[in-house]
Amino acid sequence: MEIDTGASVSTMSEDTYKEYKSKFRIEPTSAKLRTYMGEQIPVIGRVIVNVNYKKENAKLPLLIVKRKGPNLLGRDWLNKLRLDWKDIFSVVGSDNQPSDLNVILEANKEVFKDELGTVKGMKAKIYVDENAVPKYFKARPLPYALKNKVEMELKRLEKEGQIQQVEFSDWAAPIVPVVKENGSIRICGDYKVTVNAVSKLDNYLIPKTEDLYATLGGGQEYTKLDLNQAYQQIELDDDSKRFKRIGIRLKKQKCVFMAEVVYLGFKINKHGIYPVESKVEAIDKAPSPTNVTELKAYLGMLNYYNRFLPNLSHLLKPLHVLLQKDIKLNWEKEQEKAFIESKQLLKSTSVLVHFDPKKEINLSM
């Protein structure tokens, strides 16, 4: 066995278990294992084995896994056995990240600096209609619980040069403070009531999620990159500053380098695309709708995963009938049956494999 101080449990491959024709009976276990890269390791069960090392004797658990590779001696065994480290021939490193990834991160440490980056070689400009009339909105009242945080964030933005005080302005938009997951404040501007209405927009076709997922075939590892204060890294030109730094920075804590990532409600790995378990659970726990608004909300959640659900429109026909104009919401057995079956269909769904243009395509009508 190889010592892996980064593994919390000790494991043996199914092949090794069969090779030694072990007399130990495999017991069921609820243990779930994942590699550091996020790839799930199928656990077959566990066995309790007698371990003898010099004068040490113990009965210890060993998880049997359906996976190729070395058998690992993890921390659960190390805590029970006093090993003579001079006798150890192989130790698997316990770094928190794979060595290849560490090399990549170290080579690109400049982009992970905890500071605001500046996009080089360009400035953002806001184009407005020539006859646009400036709009000035007074500040909106703030909840008392947010006042100090907002003031501190404004001072930070000013100190970093992201904003600056002005004596007067023809334009002013109210701020919208957003509380982030870590409790800090993101300050946004409600520009829809001011400059947005008179801006000349550069129309850009944003790719659909279907277009993005169609390019994932053959991928093994996936990366999510989060720009640190993304829009603040683009400097406004002098003319546009009155309406209101390529040297960008990434937020390392929110970047993901994994064999499996969650993106826009979908779990993605080399095998394909899956619905996210928490979303499926939320849909499964949804109560029967009592009004049209609740029915629309349920159908909206379910329709987000329609690519996994064959014949969904046919199944949901009794529910869609209730959305017709002048139809009273009468929740009968037919609707309840379709409601329950749609949940079961989502829970039983399998993986949607990545699109591969080299493979044969079958059309079903």
Q: Which amino acid is at 251?
A: K
Q: Own/partner pairs for 166-173, CB < 8 Å, 24+ apart? A: 166/242, 169/136, 169/242, 170/134, 170/136, 170/242, 171/134, 171/135, 171/136, 171/195, 171/242, 171/243, 171/244, 172/135, 172/136, 172/137, 172/138, 173/137, 173/244
Mean pLDDT, the chain, rounded, equals: 76
Tell me the pLDDT tens digit for each residue of 12-48: 888 888 887 667 888 999 888 877 556 788 899 999 9
Burial class (CB in 10 A: 0-12, 13-18, 19+), 301: middle
We report the CATH number of the domain holding residue 282 as: 3.30.70.270
Beta pairing class for 33-34 and 40-41: antiparallel
| Domain end position, chosen among 22, 55, 88 | 88
Asked if residue 254 belongs to a domain, the reply is: no
Q: Contact 229/119 with Cβ under 8 angstroms?
A: no
Asked if residue 251 belongs to a domain, the reply is: no
Asked if residue 216 belongs to a domain, the reply is: no
Question: What pLDDT does 273 receive?
Answer: 81
For the whole model, what pTM was predicted? 0.40
**pLDDT band of 226, cuts 50, 70, 90:** low
We report the CATH number of the domain holding residue 33 as: 2.40.70.10
Asked if residue 35 belongs to a domain, the reply is: yes
Tokens of 140: 């909106």
Asked if residue 209 belongs to a domain, the reply is: no
Asked if residue 9 belongs to a domain, the reply is: yes
Q: What total number of domains does the chain contain?
A: 3
Burial class (CB in 10 A: 0-12, 13-18, 19+), 191: middle
CA distances for 104 relative to 81, 109, 111, angstroms: 36, 8, 11
Q: Which domain holds residue 7?
A: 2-88
Cα gap 66→85, rounded to integer Å: 29
- Inform me whether the pLDDT recorded for 336 exceeds 90: yes
Question: What pLDDT does 157 receive?
Answer: 81
| Domain end position, chosen among 155, 172, 197 | 197
Tell which wins on pLDDT, 59 or 266: 59
CA distances for 64 relative to 39, 135, 291, angstroms: 17, 68, 50
**pLDDT band of 319, cuts 50, 70, 90:** very high
| Domain end position, chosen among 173, 197, 221 | 197
The SS3 of residue 188 is strand
- Inform me whether the pLDDT recorded for 251 exceeds 80: no
- Inform me whether the pLDDT recorded for 339 exceeds 90: yes
In eight-state DSSP terms, residue 230 is G
Tell me the pLDDT tens digit for each residue of 147-196: 889 889 888 888 877 777 777 778 788 888 888 877 888 888 888 888 77
Hey, CA dihedral for 231, 232, 238, 242, is it positive or negative? positive
In eight-state DSSP terms, residue 81 is -
Tokens of 243: 């309406």
Q: Which residue has the tokens 């992201």?
A: 162
In eight-state DSSP terms, residue 162 is S
Tell which wins on pLDDT, 87 or 276: 276
Give the rounded distance of the alpha carbon of 325 from its chain centre. 38
Phi/psi-derived region of residue 50, left when phi > 0, alpha when psi is between -120 and 50, beta in every other case: beta
Asked if residue 98 belongs to a domain, the reply is: no
List the alpha helices (DSSP H) in 245-291: 277-284
Asked if residue 127 belongs to a domain, the reply is: no
Q: Contact 296/290 with Cβ under 8 angstroms?
A: no
Tell me the pLDDT tens digit for each residue of 38-97: 678 889 999 998 888 777 788 889 999 988 777 888 888 887 877 665 455 544 444 444
Tokens of 162: 């992201």
158-169 per-residue burial string, b: 16 or more CB within 10 A, e: under 16? eeeebbeeeeee
